[in-house]
């Protein structure tokens, strides 16, 4: 069995508690043995889901369990399955450096995240914003080659000419590209090779920009396809003491479902919407960077409140799947 030692697994502690009453002590003991690492802290109870969900959870947990007890004692642990566990923590693929460096503002603007519409007032967002003053240095997110540097007089990288203003597009390994828009100054030329962290231009408000900021995109595949953009928060190295959370809200058939939800910690609450449909190109339909810590996700869907407690670790990716009915 192919496994990944970087995966950690967190059992559904609150559900296990209820399942305990339904199964024998032996089965419970065997299940606990199979459930990877223990939950780091006590997880609050009262997950408000239907009985069918609990039954389905137990059935899938039991299936996972039986595959483990038949393996040899020296077998490596089964990879965390976010369909079974409350959440899984992996290394993710944070291969890009942030294009803005401290002390400038290197945090993603929360009001207009990837694939959001700013409450319906804007086009679904194909990137993220770093709000900074004109002249703030912009750095290459990775080693690569400049494939475009200049004003977008023609509609190549978006459906509209003069949309990005002064824009730089870099090609990286593995079919990935990064795009830096609305620049006041461009300091590279097409064909040039750049290194991660190298200064390539300066923040501005050229093109379709209300204020001075860097619009940053990650694309994969056909760079001229406006819909090849991915959520940069899953590709950029998290800020100090932060990680990222990727959420999939799906129905029983695994199809993405639109939902609004809150993500709450002891000192912050985030109101999040799942992606606009046109940007469902990744394995998730919501994602954001978060400070390391524990969070409660609460989601209302068809009259049922779905609650999930998850943990975000520094420099890691937390994945969770919420199945709604
Ligand atoms: Zn933008």
For the purposes of burial, counting CB atoms within 10 Å of the CB of 269, is it exposed (0-12), middle (13-18) or buried (19 or more)?
Answer: exposed
Give the Å distance between the CA of 92 and the centre of ligand 1: 24
Nearest Cα to 307, choosing from 20, 12, 61, 84?
Answer: 12
Q: What is the mean pLDDT of residues 16-25?
A: 40
Give the Å distance between the CA of 53 and the centre of ligand 1: 39
Q: What is the pLDDT of residues 201-225, one digit of tens each?
A: 999 999 999 899 999 999 999 999 9
Residue 261, both tokens: 């939800």
Confidence bin at 77 (pLDDT 50/70/90): low
Residue 34 gets the label, from left (phi > 0), alpha (psi -120 to 50) or beta, of alpha
Give the Å distance between the CA of 130 and the centre of ligand 1: 9
Give the Å distance between the CA of 129 and the centre of ligand 1: 5
Task: Give the pLDDT confidence score for residue 119 in this predicted structure.
Answer: 83
Which of 34-38, 129-133, 239-243 shows the lowest per-residue confidence on average (mean pLDDT)?
Answer: 34-38
Confidence bin at 56 (pLDDT 50/70/90): very low
Q: Has residue 167 got a pLDDT over 80? A: yes
Q: Has residue 137 got a pLDDT over 70? A: yes
Q: Kindly report the pTM of this predicted structure.
A: 0.78
∠ CA 156-180-281, nearest 5°, is 70
Domains and CATH numbers, the chain: 8-81 (no CATH), 110-232 (2.70.70.10), 242-323 (2.60.40.10)
Give the Å distance between the CA of 126 and the centre of ligand 1: 7
Confidence bin at 121 (pLDDT 50/70/90): confident
Give the Å distance between the CA of 122 and the centre of ligand 1: 10
Q: What is the pLDDT of residues 172-210, one digit of tens each?
A: 999 999 999 999 999 999 999 999 999 999 999 999 998
Give the Å distance between the CA of 310 and the centre of ligand 1: 29
Give the Å distance between the CA of 211 and the centre of ligand 1: 11
Tokens 């479902």 appear where? Answer: 257
Give the Å distance between the CA of 128 and the centre of ligand 1: 5
Give the Å distance between the CA of 171 and the centre of ligand 1: 20
């Amino acid at each position: 069995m192919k496994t990944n030692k970087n995966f950690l697994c967190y059992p559904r502690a609150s559900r296990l508690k209820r399942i305990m009453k339904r199964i024998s002590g032996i089965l419970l003991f065997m299940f606990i043995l199979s459930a990877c690492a223990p939950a780091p802290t006590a997880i609050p109870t009262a997950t408000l889901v239907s009985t069918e969900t609990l039954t389905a959870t137990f059935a899938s947990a039991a299936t996972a369990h039986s595959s483990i007890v038949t393996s040899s004692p020296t077998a490596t642990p089964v990879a965390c399955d976010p369909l079974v566990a409350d959440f899984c923590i992996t290394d993710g693929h944070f291969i890009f450096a942030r294009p803005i460096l401290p002390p400038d503002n290197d945090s993603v603007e929360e009001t207009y995240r990837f694939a959001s519409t700013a409450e319906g007032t804007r086009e679904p967002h194909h990137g993220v914003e770093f709000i900074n003053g004109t002249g703030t240095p912009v750095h290459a997110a990775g080693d690569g080659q400049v494939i475009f540097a200049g004003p977008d007089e023609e509609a190549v990288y978006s459906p509209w000419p003069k949309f990005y203003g002064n824009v730089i597009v870099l090609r990286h390994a593995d079919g990935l590209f990064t795009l830096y828009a609305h620049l006041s100054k461009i300091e590279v030329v097409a064909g040039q090779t750049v290194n991660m962290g190298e200064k390539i231009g300066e923040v501005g408000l050229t093109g379709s920009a209300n204020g001075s900021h860097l619009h940053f995109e990650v694309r994969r595949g056909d760079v001229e396809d406006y819909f090849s953009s991915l959520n940069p928060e899953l590709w950029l190295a998290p800020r100090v003491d932060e990680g990222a959370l990727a959420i999939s809200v799906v129905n029983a058939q695994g199809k993405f479902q639109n939902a609004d939800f809150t993500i709450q910690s002891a000192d912050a609450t985030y109101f999040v919407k799942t992606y606009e449909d046109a940007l469902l190109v990744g394995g998730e339909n919501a994602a954001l960077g978060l400070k390391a810590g524990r969070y409660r996700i609460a989601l209302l869907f068809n009259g049922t409140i779905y609650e999930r407690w998850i943990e975000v670790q520094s420099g890691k990716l937390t994945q969770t799947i919420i199945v709604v009915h």
